[in-house]
Structure 1
Amino acid sequence: MKNKLIVLFASALLLGGCGTGPSSKNGAVDDSDSGWKSLKTVSGREIIAELKQTVEETPKRDERATIETPPEFEEPTKETVEDLNVKAIEGPAVFQAVEKVYGEGGIHHEGVIFFELQTKGAAQSGVWIGLKEPDERVQQLIDLLQPKVDAGEILAEPIYIFRSPHTEKELYELQDEVAEALKGLESERGSFGLYVDVITGNIEITHDFLKPEQQEKLREQFADHTINIEQDGRMVPEPGESTIIAPEQTYTDKPVTEGGFILEAGDGRIFVAGGTESVVFYKFPEADKLKAGQRVNVERSGPILESYPGQGTAKFVEVLPDYKPAGAKLSESQAVAKALEVAGERLSNGYVVIEEVSFDENEKKWVFKLLPDDGEGTLEVADQ
């Protein structure tokens, strides 16, 4: 599984000081070692340089600013508006300056860059530039951004320059190391999700196979880092444990609305579609114990490939009670199996995706509402 570094967002706000010209030092430099001293701490981070809010009026920024929350947001809030403005105004200015000073992708080797947003739980909106070994290029950044502040194009307050304990490159390398360690522990049917938080450097793992002793082994192997491990769904079954969950009752006279329908079953895979399930081929070792027409809930293991139909691995398959109305000769699963035979003769793709199933007691027939892509609005099967 290809794992990608995911940048998480949070937020904070840096209060600007008195005005200075763009060529002056907006941070404290330690001349003894050419390093940048700490000015203060914000959100637990060591601020090494800051812009100055030199003007009170910002007409150029105001022209671009969102005044009200866009209609796609259900609850208009001041915090949402501030987040949107920082992302749309200060964000691009900072990213352009960083690229100009460090080159395209250069910040990847020097540190990190990220937003923190109030709508993601942070205290205030901000865009953060973190540098592991800050040098004279910090002043170059300031010299590019301060004139924009002076001209009223951007605000100084939401822009932070701090000393980062890591670079993005280091985090990518750490993620690759953890991924290799996880692959060595992975069971045949297990899966994991992995990312390293750019802001904290913490390793975040989701899984459905790691036993407590394996988790402890990981923490020992990466003792210099915080590892957060979360179980994703049920654990994969132990050898000999059935992966089919049978219903408490075989039949029910009440319509079942959850789950999807098995269209094919056998040779180590099942094809499930319709109802509340997506259209997916699943690898499933116990496929031969299932039948086309059954309504099931599928608990997957790992990602679903974005093809059509999708492709994935089923960890557990829950067979749902078979709907059999009073007076009907067929059960729902039997009617679906017949519908699949008819569909195979009439549809170019060879399968049908059923949205809904109903039983017409007066005319003694089963009516299937199909997805529009299947070329037919409905399909009917006589109850016999």
Structure 2
Amino acid sequence: MKGRLIVPMLGILLLGACGTSEMGASSKNGSVEDSAWRTLKKVSGREIIAELKQSVQESPDREKAAVAQTESYEYKEGLFGKPTPELAEDMAVQAIEGPTAIEAVEKVYGGYEGFENAGILFFENQMSGATQPGIWIGVKNPDERVQKLLDELQPKVDAGEILAEPIYIFRSPHTQKELYTLQDKVAQALKGMKIDRGSYGLSVNTITGIVEINHDFLKPEQQKELKGMFPDKKFHFEQDGRMVAEPGESSIIIPEKQFTDTPVTDGGFILSAGEGKIFVAGGTEGAVFYKFPEADKLKVGQRVKVEASGGIKTSYPGQGSAKFVEIMPDYKPSGARLSESQAVGKVLEMADGESAFGFYVIQKISFNENEHMWIFNVMQDDEELMLEIEDK
């Protein structure tokens, strides 16, 4: 998986906040409109209210720092995408102008929390398709601090340490603090709509202010109701997998045929089931304990595919909730006495107490027709083993 281009400094990609009354300021550095803080121009549809001046033709320090980005491991190995001049400049802005602008913003506005109450800050990259890439500093209600911000940054442009062009100061329609508050209110509303085993992800887009919700339980009428609670906000809903089962409906998917004489490779194996939990491991599934209300209807040894609801904790074994459990057809070769699930049950009896984790991770199962033997390739405490079970 390719990495995302981010600013390593301060763990910040997004800042924000709520504003003060509009005031004017004289222009000591850069360019600021008159006392009404009128728009200088529009860039990418945003109202630019102040600009830095590119006062020097050459910036050797900045160029040196930019070249260093192209020599980095991340750039050469393509961790953020294919190495291109566009990627190199995106990385340079985030490594040079980005930290400098963030430091100036925090100094002028009283730290991270101070700027949350004044505006937003984000990056847009050429590699993501931005027409005007750079660092964007949005202020909802600009005051004299905008001039102080210019006074902090312009000397660094004059000294050739940073470029003026990638830094945009604009009038933001919202603040990060406002977005956080909106997100909390929407979360409270969602809690009242959430059903058992349903899950959702919620965020408010810093740039657009759109409320983005991915879910597996919200019906169209609930989505409409949610929009009605926040009539002046825009929502984007995205369904995450299948919708959870309705009350009274089973979340267990039964195969059309109980047995098959064709080997099955999909799914993992139920190693334990009961008391509202199942433990599934091996095959094509990871080792995970799932909360599942219908656990008592499942049997140890069954091969299943699990659709999780929400995230999986990264402990070993993992922990999560199962939305659906699909039982795979039980492999029973022609002439065999045992089915695959029955053979797995015998292997699990052997594993009891022998592994530090208390279980084998079954990687592969095959049936030797001539020897009437089930062959298991398993992992036990990071050691590969082969086990044989007689077909009787």
TM beyond 0.5: yes
Match of 2:250 among 235, 238, 242: 242
Distance 1:373 1:80 in 2: 43
Distance 2:313 2:52 in 1: 46
Kept in 2: contact 1:7–1:197 (CA 8 A): no
Q: Does 2:275 match 1:267?
A: yes
Within a 5 Å distance, the mapping from 1:73-222 to structure 2 comes to: 73=79, 75-105=82-112, 106-222=114-230
Match of 1:365 among 363, 373, 376: 373
Letter in 1 for 2:282: G
Shift of the alpha carbon at 1:362?
Answer: 4.6
Spell out, residue by residue over 1:325-361, the C-alpha distance to the aligned partner (whole angstroms, 9 max, x if none).
3443322212211111111131122122222223344
Kept in 2: contact 1:82–1:125 (CA 8 A): no
Give the secondary-structure state (helix, strand or coil) at the position aligned to 1:345: coil
Kept in 1: contact 2:363–2:378 (CA 8 A): yes
Spell out, residue by residue over 1:111-150, the C-alpha distance to the aligned partner (whole angstroms, 9 max, x if none).
1111111222322421111111111111111122112222
Give the secondary-structure state (helix, strand or coil) at the position aligned to 1:346: coil
With normalisation by structure 1, the TM-score equals 0.88
What residue in structure 1 maps to residue 46 of structure 2? 45
Distance 1:366 1:157 in 2: 69
Spell out, residue by residue over 1:61-91, the C-alpha distance to the aligned partner (whole angstroms, 9 max, x if none).
1211133742134632222222211111111
**Identity of counterpart residues, as a percentage?**
62
Distance 1:91 1:168 in 2: 18
Distance 2:380 2:50 in 1: 59
What residue in structure 2 maps to residue 3 of structure 1? none
Kept in 2: contact 1:53–1:157 (CA 8 A): yes
Distance 1:43 1:193 in 2: 29
With normalisation by structure 2, the TM-score equals 0.87
Shift of the alpha carbon at 1:323?
Answer: 2.2
Distance 1:371 1:128 in 2: 51
Kept in 1: contact 2:51–2:168 (CA 8 A): yes
Distance 1:117 1:212 in 2: 35
Give the secondary-structure state (helix, strand or coil) at the position aligned to 2:269: strand
Deviates more, 1:211-220 or 1:359-368: 359-368
Letter in 1 for 2:360: V
Letter in 1 for 2:196: E
Deviates more, 1:209-218 or 1:321-330: 321-330
Spell out, residue by residue over 1:3-37, the C-alpha distance to the aligned partner (whole angstroms, 9 max, x if none).
xxx9689xxxxxxxxxxxx9724233332xxx422
Deviates more, 1:160-169 or 1:327-336: 327-336
Distance 1:372 1:121 in 2: 48
**Can you give the 5+ residue segments of structure 2 that lack an aligned partner in the other structure?**
1-11, 16-25
What residue in structure 1 maps to residue 70 of structure 2? 67
Letter in 1 for 2:70: I
Kept in 1: contact 2:65–2:96 (CA 8 A): yes
Letter in 1 for 2:304: V
Distance 1:333 1:206 in 2: 36
Distance 2:372 2:147 in 1: 81
What residue in structure 2 maps to residue 24 of structure 1? 28
Letter in 2 for 1:344: D
Q: Does 2:329 match 1:321?
A: yes
Distance 1:151 1:171 in 2: 36
What residue in structure 2 maps to residue 17 of structure 1? none
Shift of the alpha carbon at 1:95?
Answer: 1.0
Letter in 2 for 1:136: E
Distance 1:219 1:255 in 2: 49
Q: How many residues align?
A: 364
Distance 2:227 2:128 in 1: 28
Give the secondary-structure state (helix, strand or coil) at the position aligned to 2:381: helix
Shift of the alpha carbon at 1:39?
Answer: 0.7
Shift of the alpha carbon at 1:155?
Answer: 1.4
**Can you give the 5+ residue segments of structure 1 that lack an aligned partner in the other structure?**
1-5, 10-21
